[in-house]
């Protein structure tokens, strides 16, 4: 089976638009590349007859717009001199580890799909993306963004678009699209928390911490703990994410604000994980994973549908602990979503 898939890039179009309008040349070229990728209309590969378990392949695009480029490190090979290659290799491994060890999922398709990535894509390319087949990393321009392989939560975010593609298939528009984005942020953050053995209270709940170049006024691309506070910079603008339905942004940009309104379900997950305490992947993460992969979530789910499904998943997973489902309901209520 092949299905049309989307390009999922980590830096939202409105961020690069603003930089481009101010004459920032790498952003102009990055936007042109992103538009070309979207126009390419790739299709997902049929599930490969892969061996079970972790298998990675890292290629080097050599600063050209070439995919995949030449292979530089495959599964089991020792680190190479190029740090971007090793960061990509490790980030793919950390993502595989969360899905495999915590949720019992064999790679992003559930059938041992080899995880492929290309590094050094394009010249000063200000983005990273999942194209339905592989991950692609730019080096950043060094002025606004650094090397996109540096953040394992960004890698976890992008590969989770693959998991969503192979499971619930949430439409990439309006509320289902914002849920698609939010699910990638949730599991991206969990990849980082799991790798660092952090509990909910000590996690930073940021997406892309360390990605912004020195001098940029901001800490990350998004904050699940405090949506709307990740950056406020003369060049980047201000983080536009709401944390509550009363501030929901109605817009035609960004596929109906998929990177903007994702702040609302992001914050609901943060509230749940911190209220439950301990390791976020054990209770809250499992409820989100069950919801995403359980087969009952329609591709057109809105926030209320998703919230209702998470409450049902909590009840199903914890029949003897109704307090868990009650905490899920309360977390959604705090962001203005009523599961009913």
List interacting residues with Zn ion (CB under 5 A): 8, 181, 184
Nearest residue (CB) to Zn ion, 184 versus 193: 184
At residue 8, the 3 state secondary structure works out as strand
| Minimum distance of Zn ion from residue 10's CB (angstroms) | 6
37 is catalytic: no
Least spacing, CB of residue 15 vs Zn ion, in Å: 13
Nearer to Zn ion, 262 or 331 (CB): 262
Q: How far is the CB of 1 from Zn ion (least distance, A)?
A: 23
Burial class (CB in 10 A: 0-12, 13-18, 19+), 295: exposed
Q: Which of 158, 161, 181, 279 is catalytic?
A: 158
As measured in angstroms, the least distance from the Cβ of 81 to Zn ion is: 30
Three-point CA angle 150, 219, 279, nearest 5° = 75
In degrees rounded to 5, what are phi and psi of residue 100? -75, -55
DSSP for 35-102, please give it: HHHHHT--BPPPPP-PPSS--EEEEE-TTSS-SS-EEEEETTPPP-S-HHHHHHHHHHHHHHHIIIII
> For residues 9 and 276, which CB has a smaller minimum distance to Zn ion in the complex?
9
4/81 with CB nearer Zn ion: 4
Catalytic residue (one of 8, 87, 259, 267): 259
Q: How far, in Å, CA of 327 to CA of 331, rounded? A: 6
Active site residue 158: yes
Quote the crossing angle between the two packed helices 152-166 and 83-97, to the nearest 10°: 50
Show which residues are catalytic.
Answer: 158, 259
């Amino acid at each position: 089976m092949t299905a049309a898939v989307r390009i999922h890039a980590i830096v939202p179009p409105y961020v690069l638009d603003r930089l481009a309008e101010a004459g920032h040349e790498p952003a102009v070229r990055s936007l042109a590349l992103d538009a070309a990728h979207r126009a390419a209309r790739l299709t997902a590969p049929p599930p490969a007859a892969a061996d079970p378990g972790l298998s990675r392949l890292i290629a080097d695009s050599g600063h050209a717009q070439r995919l995949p480029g030449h292979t530089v490190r495959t599964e089991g090979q020792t680190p190479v001199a190029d740090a971007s290659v090793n960061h990509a290799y490790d980030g793919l491994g950390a993502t595989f580890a969360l899905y495999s060890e915590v949720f019992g999922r064999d790679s992003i398709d559930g059938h041992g799909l080899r995880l492929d990535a290309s590094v050094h894509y394009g010249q000063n390319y200000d983005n990273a993306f999942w194209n339905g087949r592989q991950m692609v990393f730019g080096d950043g321009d060094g002025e606004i963004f650094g090397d996109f392989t540096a953040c394992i939560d960004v890698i976890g975010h992008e590969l989770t678009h693959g998991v969503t593609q192979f499971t619930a298939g949430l439409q990439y528009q309006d509320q289902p699209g914002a849920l698609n984005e939010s699910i990638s942020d949730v599991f991206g953050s969990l990849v980082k928390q799991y790798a660092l053995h952090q509990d909910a209270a000590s996690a930073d709940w940021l997406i892309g911490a360390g990605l912004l170049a020195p001098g940029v006024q901001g800490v990350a691309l998004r904050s699940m703990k405090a949506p709307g506070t990740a950056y406020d910079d003369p060049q980047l603008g201000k983080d536009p994410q709401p944390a509550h339905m009363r501030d929901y942004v109605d817009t035609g940009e960004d596929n109906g604000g998929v990177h903007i309104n994702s702040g609302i379900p992001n914050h609901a997950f943060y509230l749940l994980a911190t209220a439950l305490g301990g390791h976020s992947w054990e209770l809250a993460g499992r409820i989100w994973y069950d919801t995403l992969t359980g087969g009952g979530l329609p591709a057109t789910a809105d926030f209320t549908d998703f919230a209702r499904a998470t409450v049902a998943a909590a009840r199903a997973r914890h029949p003897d602990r109704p307090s868990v489902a009650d905490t899920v309901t309360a977390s959604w209520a705090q962001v203005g979503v009523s599961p009913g």
